[in-house]
Chain A
Amino acid sequence: MSLAMMRQGNQLAFTSERHRTDRSELGPGLIDQLPFFVIPYELETDPSVVKRGPLQDTEPSSKHLSEGRPETGVGGLSTSGNASLRPIFKIHPRQIAQQRSLVLQQWEGTVVEIKGDSFGARMRNLTDPKGPEEWATLLLGEISEEDRCSVQPGAVFYWSVGYLIEPYGQRRTASTIYFRRLPAWSSADLERARNAAEEYRDIFPDSPVE
């Protein structure tokens, strides 16, 4: 199941492409993969929240979230003429702007070994580069499903720990691991690499016996 984000005016909303609005359809695994700033919001499950009309500044509150419906209209979020495409939840841009993270420590890791349900990695402290090299043993379960195929020896990832600061000042501890994605080689990249390699021809010839 995938999510689509809609933006209209100054509001954002997420919908499922399959037009499902039941939170249970998303499953906890998928919800956990959503970026931090989305997670704090409960999903709207009542299609009646979709109203048409001019976009208004909406100030979501805990009351709205607990009741499952906003008090003000969100007409700009619906897609006219397509009743099945419904907003799941909405985020006010002021909310996003006010949410921030405070990173206390960050490391760059290189996967060395994978054993059972965990993997080991050499860790370089990015917050204090003069610190000693460290070793981490991390559970594969801490890695998102999407990133799990990237967990291979030599793969580079980043681990940050700190706080997520909510719009109203509440702090939550946070630990995030994400893997560096490597793109596919393009013909232009390969041409640059070939040119770079040519610079080494005098030392590394074509044949081992040259």
Chain B
Amino acid sequence: MPLKNIVTSSLTAQLSDLPPGDTIEVSVFGKGIGECVVVHLGAGEWLIADSLIDSSAGCPVALDYLRGIGVDVTTAVKLVVVTHWHRDHTDGIAELFEQTASAEVVFSQALRSAEFRELLGRDKVLSPANSSLAEMRSLIEILRERRRKDGQQPGGPTWALENRLLRKTPDGDVFSLSPSDGAISLALREIRSLITSEGASVGRLCAQRPNETCIVLSVRLGDKVVILGADLEAGRDATLGWKAIAGSRTRPHMRASCFKIPHHGSSNAHEPLVWETLFTPSRIGVLTPYRALRNPIPTSQDIERLLTCTTQLYCAGGLAAVRGPRRPSSVEKLIAGRLHSAEARMGHVRARFPPAGTAIVDTFGSAKRL
């Protein structure tokens, strides 16, 4: 797709530049495990989807970035979206929500049930340090504390489902395009299956398929639209995943020019109809790598496929792992090559779309154009 003039790169880009009030910005962060997306909604308002800790800064990367460009996170961040409850998307999200005092949290409608409440209760009793739900429980505690102080319902939650308006801005809006009704039913069934009865094994409070209940967002400012695909997979039938979104008759119909590519560019999140129905012919794709797998994603085949679907493709986060920790040779001998680092160097892709003219994409850290 050789449309060369839609994107430029500002060679003198500074991380400290604030975007103009009429410019939508998408900043995608990745480090091999984890993902965070920061979006300027216009007029100084911001949205943060998911969270990831920057180990060098020791805090959620979104806070570090926004503070670095002079944004007052306590007032300017309006939405904090938990796209799903996988650990690589929730790392530090409680701290992030605590610091963004004016933000509403957005949860998937698939979690709004007595069953999920019971799951939280059981997780609290078990208190496993590395539970997928522990960060969610911390966030909910902060939310409840805000309610206690203010007596009303500041901070949400707002429940996302297909084609729901989450926020209206003076010249734009934020819609959730998922989860679909089918995904909500599926999620309820899976959550119920995790709740075992008396005498049965405690089991693992770890859902294997929350990807199907992910929140996909469509953010518009003027005539510029970006779609954040989270980890949503293609879907097994027309009522699930990207098939449900592509086939929807009620979704906002403005086409997008930027896509945070779902599920780290994996083939299980690829639905050809999506590219035909949701995007303009010239589009920028941004993905984050995921290395905590035997075969990290995206694979080289994934990248080849995505290059044919996008005008320009960027990767936030290095595709190669950082060097593992130094260990005594005796330990290395015992490990015998069975262990490798899953993390990559932090990368940041920043795409800005002024109301007129070309998009400007800059890469920082280990991020690069593919």
Contacts and interface: CB of A to CB of B under 8 A. Distances in A.
Contacts of A128: 325
A173 interface: yes
B130 A124 contact: yes
B144 A203 contact: yes
Which one of A123, A134, A152, A175 has the greatest number of beta carbons of chain B within 10 Å?
A134
A122 B340 CA distance: 10
Contacts of B33: 122, 133
B206 A154 contact: yes
Contact of A133 (B198, B203, B292): B292
Interface in B109-153: 109, 111-114, 116-118, 120-122, 124-125, 128, 130, 140, 143-144, 147
Looking at chain A's contact residues, the main secondary structure is mixed
Interface string B341-357: 11100000000000000
Contacts of A107: 339
Interface in A81-116: 104-105, 107-108, 110, 112-113, 115
Interface string A180-204: 0011111101101111111111111
Given A132-B325, A200-B120, 12 more contacts: A112-B293, A135-B291, A135-B292, A137-B294, A153-B206, A154-B206, A154-B208, A173-B333, A184-B201, A193-B118, A203-B144, A204-B116
Contacts of A207: 114
30 contacts: A113-B294, A120-B293, A122-B33, A131-B325, A132-B342, A133-B343, A134-B342, A135-B339, A135-B340, A137-B294, A153-B204, A154-B208, A161-B334, A162-B334, A173-B333, A182-B201, A182-B204, A183-B201, A185-B196, A185-B199, A189-B125, A193-B124, A196-B121, A196-B125, A197-B117, A197-B122, A200-B120, A202-B147, A204-B117, A205-B112
B197 interface: yes
B121 A115 contact: no
A110 B342 CA distance: 13
Interface of B: 33, 55, 109, 111-114, 116-118, 120-122, 124-125, 128, 130, 140, 143-144, 147, 157, 184, 196-204, 206, 208, 291-294, 322, 324-325, 327-328, 330-331, 333-335, 338-343
Contacts of A182: 201-204
Contacts of B292: 112, 122, 133, 135
B339 A203 contact: no
B312 to A, nearest CB: 30
A58 interface: no
Q: Interface size class for chain A?
A: 35 or more
A135 B293 contact: yes
A196 B120 contact: yes
Interface of A: 104-105, 107-108, 110, 112-113, 115, 120, 122-125, 128, 130-138, 152-156, 161-162, 173, 175, 182-187, 189-190, 192-208
Contacts, number: 148
B3 to A, nearest CB: 38
B215 to A, nearest CB: 15
A104 B330 contact: yes
Contacts of B208: 153-154
A130 B331 CA distance: 18
Nearest to A190: B198
A130 B55 CA distance: 9
Contacts of A208: 109, 112-113, 184
A209 to B, nearest CB: 9
Contacts of A122: 33, 292, 342
B339 A175 contact: no
Given A105-B331, A196-B125, A185 B206 contact: no
B87 to A, nearest CB: 9
